Amino acid sequence: MIIGAATVVVIIGSWVLTYFLLKNDLHNRGTFGDMFGSINALFSGLALAGIIFTILLQRMELGYQRNELRETRQEFIIQNKTLKTQRFENTFFNLLGLHHQIIEGIDYDTQIVKKDGTEGMPRGIMQKRDYEIVTIKGRDVFKNKFESLIQILSQSKSDLNVEYLKFYSTAQTDLGHYFRNLYRIIKFVNEAEFFSREELDIPINPTKYEDRIKHEVYNFSERYKYTSMIRAQLSDYELLWLFYNCLSDNGIEKFKPLIEKYTIFKNLPKDKVHDPQLIDLYEQRAFEKT
């Protein structure tokens, strides 16, 4: 501010001094003015250089702003991804918790013979034995019911779908809820988008093959991680029930493709399948160990 004020004073003082010194001599005033022509050109050049320098500074400033905007955008993408993952996991683990509650709520009553010491006695006496009602709960239901199912399927020569659905109708109240919720969880994971095209820098209309499959590959990797968690929660007999259920009208259209896609039968005890040929009805991917 001091330099600016001093400059203004010097300029005005010089003008006033020049005006009074050359007031009555127009010829000398013109000559005197011409002396400053080169200086005027110099200052004009300096002014032009100043404008160019200002433009360069503005360009650099705009570059810094673009970098800041790019970094801010990247931070926003990371924050958005974190929030999206948190929302997904909250829903996912709530559904998984509900699934365990459904399993714990499954039960049914069955009759067993009391151990009354009649073993080895004459048949007439054994027929007088008492029976008691026992409640089977949770995952034990799958084991108990599956043993009955396999016995029926092994002896029957009818269509697998018909015999399964007939037996399934006797346990539909509990198992129906179980299968519907399990399907909903896997479907929820299958439809989740963990990486957007923007996050992966993929064009809206990709032309390269790598760009076209990149979005699906990255998302499948994350989806597989969560379906692996689901698979780890399933017991052997749950997997066996799921195996037969997805060969019936209940799951062959919508559920079976998801089972194959995410290798849900990776830990399936194949030796408990009553007919090994049924395994070939699934794509081999359903049983892969990778």
The answer to whether 177 and 218 have CB atoms below 8 angstroms apart is no
Backbone phi, psi, residue 23, to 5°: -60, -40
Residues 128, 259: one domain?
A: no
Q: Is residue 168 part of a domain?
A: yes
Per the structure, the count of domains in the chain is 2
**What pLDDT is stored for residue 234 in this prediction?**
93
The 3-state DSSP composition of the chain as helix, strand, coil percent (nearest 5) reads 70, 5, 25
pLDDT for the residue numbered 36? 57
Q: Do 211 and 127 fall within a single domain?
A: no
Q: Quick one: CA torsion of 46, 52, 55, 61, rounded to 10 degrees? A: -80
The answer to the question of residue 49 being in a domain is no
The whole-angstrom separation of Cα 144 and Cα 136 is: 8
Q: Are residues 277 and 165 in the same domain?
A: yes
Q: Domain check: are 131 and 171 in the same one? A: no
Rg (CA), the chain: 42
Same-domain check for residues 258 and 133: no
Q: Determine the residue type at 194.
A: F
Q: Is residue 84 part of a domain?
A: no
Are 128 and 151 contained in the same domain?
A: no
Answer yes or no: is 149 within a domain: yes
Kindly state whether residues 130 and 237 are assigned to the same domain: no
Residue 186 forms part of a structural domain: yes
The one-digit pLDDT tens for each residue of the chain (290 residues) are 888 788 888 888 877 777 676 665 656 656 655 655 666 676 677 778 888 888 888 888 887 777 777 777 667 667 777 888 899 999 999 999 999 999 988 887 776 666 555 555 555 544 555 667 778 888 888 998 898 899 998 888 778 999 999 999 888 887 888 999 999 999 999 999 888 887 777 877 777 777 778 888 889 999 999 999 999 999 999 999 999 999 999 999 999 999 999 999 999 999 999 999 999 999 999 998 76
Please give the pLDDT value at position 184.
Answer: 95
Asked whether residue 184 falls in the same domain as residue 111, the answer is no
Tokens encoding 134: 């026992």
Q: Which residues of 244-257 are buried (b: 16+ CB within 10 A; e: fewer)?
A: bbbbbebbeeebbe
User: Do residues 187 and 246 share a domain?
Assistant: yes
Provide the residue range defining the domain that includes 117: 106-137
pLDDT at residue number 178: 92
CA distance 103 to 107: 9
pLDDT for the residue 110: 73
Within 39-192, strands assigned E span 107-113, 131-137
Residue 203 φ/ψ, nearest 5 degrees = -60, 160
- Are 155 and 275 within one domain? yes
**The model's pTM:** 0.69
3-state secondary structure of 93: helix
**What span, in angstroms and rounded, lies between the C-alpha atoms of 189 and 220?**
10
Q: Count the neighbouring beta carbons within 10 Å of the beta carbon of residue 57.
A: 10
283 and 150 fall within a common domain: yes
Together in a domain, 130 and 214: no
